[in-house]
Amino acid sequence: MSYQPQPPMGAAPQPGMQPYGAAPNPYAAPPVAAPAAKKGKGLVLAGIGLAVVGLGTGVALIAMSGSAREETVKKFARAPAGCTTTLQFDKRATFTLYLETKGSVDDVEGDCAANGASYDRGDDDPPRVSLSLFDSADQVVELTAADSPSYSTGGYRGRATQRVRIAEPGTYRLTVTSDATDFAIAVGGDPDVDAASMKTAGIAAAIGGLLLGGLLILLGTRKRRPPVAAANAVPAWQQAPAPVPGYQPQGTVPGYQPQPQYTPPPSYAPAAPSAPPQWSQPGAPQPPTVQHPAAPPSPPAGSGWGAPER
């Protein structure tokens, strides 16, 4: 229950305060509520922006996946043909040895005199090659045959020929024996591992941006119904002034609401009968007044009347 203080007798009402009992102003403008369209418009704009950002990020990551494949192939270790190359393995993993017929070899460690030599051999006449891998204890490491994967990106082209499992990190020596010298053995992992990760991230970013953006757009364009209480509420400018706490009008019963009484039209209202006039003439004799005898006196105290004599 709220209480609104009333100004003292004779004092002017404060601004914004309506005197008790005063009729509301029918010309007063009703309060204007903030439109809900601004919120919906903001959600729509946010949804469009999120969808555009997600789609753009996805397209960029997918486009960069092609260059990521080339960068992965460039990082492979390479051993020229006709010599022994020293390789350093830093982790336990399975590596693939590729017969690379197009590419270039930088400076390598070992007895190979390769210093940036490039090669380009057709795939229709693959060279015959023999590979031997030794660990730091000069023990032969087993190689297994492999026929996939393959790559052809940028200035490199190769296909898998052997696969090796490195059990312990360390220094290893790879000997490449062949009659041809216009190729090299590249050692590395899957050339598509980084590209596949970037493609997956790009697809996820595009789908996530479209879904979240579409959800915000849907929420922003959805029609909003006003609350039931607000729709049925009487405007403040039409409401009666609040009663003074503790005051109750006289002659009213709490909870009782008088019903309107029916009043018949004047044409159908029955006429009340008029009393006959009383006429009196001056000097006329008045009827005698009847005097009733007085009541008998009460019997004396003691024995009652009519008692038998002794």
For residue 310, pLDDT beyond 50: no
For residue 23, pLDDT beyond 80: no
Q: Are the C-beta atoms of residues 112 and 124 closer than 8 Å to each other?
A: no
E strand or H helix at 104, and its extent?
strand 93-105
pLDDT bracket for residue 176 (50, 70, 90):
very high
Query: Which tens digits make up the pLDDT trace of 64-74?
Result: 777 788 888 98
Query: Which tens digits make up the pLDDT trace of 78-111?
Result: 998 888 899 999 999 999 999 999 998 877 776 6
Helix, strand, coil proportions of the chain in percent (round to 5)?
Answer: 25, 20, 55
Helix 37-74 to helix 193-221 angle, to the nearest 10 degrees? 170
pTM: 0.51
Query: Which tens digits make up the pLDDT trace of 267-295?
Result: 555 555 565 555 555 555 555 555 555 55
CA nearest neighbour of 120 among 99, 98, 102: 102
Token digits of residue 269: 């209202």
Q: Compute how many other C-beta atoms are within 10 angstroms of the C-beta atom of residue 107.
A: 9
Helix, strand, or coil here: 143? strand
For residue 162, pLDDT beyond 90: yes
Going along 140-293, which residue ranges are E strands?
Answer: 143-145, 150-153, 156-166, 170-178, 184-188
Count of residues making up the chain: 310
User: Average per-residue pLDDT in the chain?
Assistant: 74
pLDDT bracket for residue 158 (50, 70, 90):
very high
The pair phi, psi for residue 176, each rounded to 5°, is -110, 115
Token digits of residue 176: 């490449």
According to DSSP, the residues that pair with 80 across neighbouring strands are: 184
pLDDT bracket for residue 35 (50, 70, 90):
low
Helix, strand, or coil here: 110? strand
R_g (Cα) of the chain, nearest Å? 57
Query: Token match 């960069």: residue?
Result: 64
Long-range contacts of 26-29 (CB under 8 A, 24+ apart): 26/237, 26/238, 28/237, 29/237
pLDDT bracket for residue 24 (50, 70, 90):
low
Query: Token match 């690379």: residue?
Result: 100
Distances (CA, A) of 301 to 50, 304, 305: 120, 8, 10
Token digits of residue 241: 């002034």
Where b means 16+ CB within 10 Å and e means fewer, 253-284 reads eeeeeeeeeeeeeeeeeeeeeeeeeeeeeeee
pLDDT bracket for residue 51 (50, 70, 90):
confident
CA nearest neighbour of 92 among 135, 52, 62: 135
**Which of residues 245 and 29 earns the better pLDDT score?**
245
Query: Which tens digits make up the pLDDT trace of 177-228?
Result: 998 888 999 999 888 887 777 788 888 888 888 888 888 888 888 766 655 5
What type of residue is 189? G
